[in-house]
Amino acid sequence: MIMGFTTYAERRIIEAVQGKDAAALNIGVGWKGWKEDVEKFKDNLEFTKLKTKQEGVDPDDVYSRIPYEKGFQFLWRIERQVGRPEFDRFLKEYIFTYSFKTIDTETFLDFLIKELPGIEEKIDLELWIEGTGIPPDAHEPVSYLYTKILSLAKDFKLGKMPKEEETADWGGREWELYLENLPKSIEVSQIQILDARYRFSESKNYDIKVAFLQLAISSKYRDCYAEVEKTLKEVGRMRYLRKLYAALAQGPGMEEEKILANRIYSEACESYHPIAQRVVESMFSKNL
């Protein structure tokens, strides 16, 4: 649950500082990632639960956004049920009671039921904690900007590009959401137009850049492969390494990309953290 609490806190801060639309975008990016990771574990649904059995399992091998996003959605579901003022009261009492302590899931649930009587009758707590996949009462964010970006991404499939005035005020989160909702594989000519107009491959924002490079790889836009290599040699964060190496190494018909992934890794691996090395090598063992 700790990842869910930190994600919830982050989004409350974003809402307070940047507004509800910004918070909705953050939730929307997380929602997309949650769905993708649930699909990734479709053959091992144990790791789509909030409370998982990990005996004999290396946590780095089953890392995903699920604990963050499902944990957040669980807390958000409770907030929607009882209202924010009451949920804030619960949070303050929870922090006061358990700050600087370690508790297990059962202790948290007992405290939740004690502080919010009847909550177990209104929300299926067992389904959220022990159930697999995405619960039916999980909630996709609703905001004008979020809906607009998804609509523009959908229009791209019809050959329509966003107008300049539609994206004039967009920042990193807006572009990340847009790129991640484009089709996984598109025509090379479309990739070229996107990059020529917006210079995604040169972006200093790695969330935008990596989202675009994933799209370039899946579409086999090889003009961007030098930028893929450069990125993999200058960043060390697992969230970026995992995405780019997975794009190169996974899937049929990617033999050239797999060779490229192997070469880049052999040249860059010494600069990676040992955990990152282990995760990438595990990925390679299953795909190369």
Residue ranges of the domains in the chain? 2-130, 144-287
What digits encode the pLDDT tens for the residues 105-151? Answer: 999 999 999 999 999 999 999 999 999 999 999 999 988 888 899 99
CA-nearest of 37, 93, 95 to 70 is: 37
Amino acid at position 169, single letter? D
Neighbours of 23 (CB within 10 A): 21
pLDDT, residue 137, reads 96
Helices (H), the chain: 2-18, 20-40, 66-82, 84-98, 105-115, 119-122, 125-130, 144-156, 164-167, 172-180, 188-198, 206-218, 225-234, 238-249, 255-268, 274-287
CATH T-level assignment (fold) for domain 144-287: 1.25.40
Confidence label for 186 from pLDDT (cuts 50, 70 and 90): confident
Distance CA 119, CA 225 (A): 52
Read off the pLDDT of residues 37-86 as tens digits, 9 standing for 90 and up.
Answer: 999 898 889 999 999 988 888 787 788 999 999 999 999 999 999 999 99
Tokens representing 283?
A: 């990925």
Q: Rounded distance, CA 135 to CA 192, Å?
A: 39
Classify domain 2-130 at the CATH topology level: Neutral Protease; domain 2 (1.10.390)
Distance of CA 79 to the CA centre of its chain: 22
What is the DSSP code (8-state) at residue 251? S
- Residue 168: strand, helix, or coil: coil
